[in-house]
Structure 1
Amino acid sequence: MPVEARHPTYPGGTLECSSDGMTASLTSRRGEKERVVELTSERTILYVSLEEIGGRTQIGSSRRPSKVAHGGAHASLVPAGVSAWEWSEPIALHRRLMIEFDHSSTPSLVRSNLEKSGTIWMTQDPAILQCSARLAQAIEAGTHGKRFLSAIALAMIGRFAELGSALAVGGLSRERLRKAQDFLIGNLSADVKMSELAQHVGLSESSFVRAFKASTGLPPYRWQLKLRIDKAKSLMLDGVVLADVAVAVGFASQSHLTRVFRSMTGATPAEWRRMHRRDSSVVSVGSEETWVS
């Protein structure tokens, strides 16, 4: 079982620097077992996984990791008070950078951009990761100064604000929409948790659901449900019996499929199939239909 800790210490060591209500810490962990760490804080946290060797890490709103693999460097912005958990596999080396923001003493421009950003999980935005790497190098070399930390942090938060504002106005980016839709299609018969899907594309659940609907006109659940019904129609036209159709597209039973199908199409599956026959004939046997050539 993973070890839980609220304020962990890492054997690899931690280097810190601070400026204008911002505290940056660079931590190295080596040769550790699987672990879960709560990061929820009274301060806003900018979390960056800089390097992962021999394992992977995740950060999200649940203490349980997503089933979706997410390799490589990633960055998250977690507003004060938002539930956040860091999870890692057994790992040979993990380097992470965290910047904590005290809203009472940070510059007004930083506070403004933090408010625009909202919660963003595990983005791999190149600009943010490049700034993170530069700050980490400066901290390790001991060449950082207060102005440098302030400038880098401001650039990173500015980029997070751009990402957050784009979500609020225009929905998901093309790449994020494709990732979300591919995931829903690949898990057509499964009950997909919105928190897991949101983490897969690097957003908070509320931001993701809002942006997905802005992009597609439907919430994620309804979009996948429509896909299930379309797949059910195709299977019915291929002559698959309704009980098997229900199982294939993720419904608990034939009656469950019938209820949802009728609510979305205005007809039961049997009625719809009779109206959309291919070059075949249908023989009714009790309440089920059998297709014959």
Structure 2
Amino acid sequence: MVPGIYDFDVARALRPRASLLRSGVTASGIGLAVWEQRRGEVHYRAADHHTFSLYLRGGSQVREVSSTAVRPNSAGSPGAICTLPAGDCFAWNNEGYLRWLHVYFRDRHMSFASGSTSTTPARVLFGCDPALRELCQRFLLVLDWADPDQNSVLDHALMTLLARSLAIENVTSDFRAPNGGLTGAQRRAVEDTAETSLADRITVRDLAEVSGLSPRQFSRAFTVSYGTSPYEWVLRQRVERARDLLADGEKARDVAVLCGFSSQTHMIRRFRAVFGYTPNAVR
């Protein structure tokens, strides 16, 4: 029997403290959920499954906490990745807005994905993996989790995610830049700026300024960290925001303005280029 999303310990812990926007459970028993929260604290205690998390929006005001202290250098940001092994405990406090993807899986799923019988994901807090983030955004979040015709693509994407999650780069507590990329603090500044300015024109110079770099230095470091150009990344943020607003029932012409497109036609063209379908399919 395929379990429901609230058969997973972490989902049950979140139920009274966050809003479930979307969920599904595959035939093999992997759970997927998109959650949203505006301020709150959550404790995960010794779940009987592993959890993968990708921050989709917000997160700069999320802090890991313990019973005795708050770790001031441990903070999230859009695109941050966390993995929590089964049996581990984790508590976080959120003082702002947060939307995130969760994937719940067990030892048998990880063994199948990795080809090993003794593989357990490491505990990662606010890690960075542009390729894994892209996999989630281009496949997992676009697929219809309830459509049987998409099961094979969904399963393949999930197995790739689990195998890749074994090699996630864990961001250090002082947020050093990985191999010439942006530091964690710079990424948060860039992502927060984009999050609050999508209705406006956003230039490379604007993003470079908040990161404390020249436009040339910034573009190079940004590409190292995100695997794409600042222009393409900002465009992706615009169309993803547009998809969310359309799903919430906003009118297309209003969404185009709110997301910084020059016209509704411009939004439709960019939307189709990224997702492969028009905004009408979201309604």
TM range (shorter): 0.3 to 0.5
TM-score (norm 1): 0.45
Who wins on radius of gyration, i.e. which is larger? 1
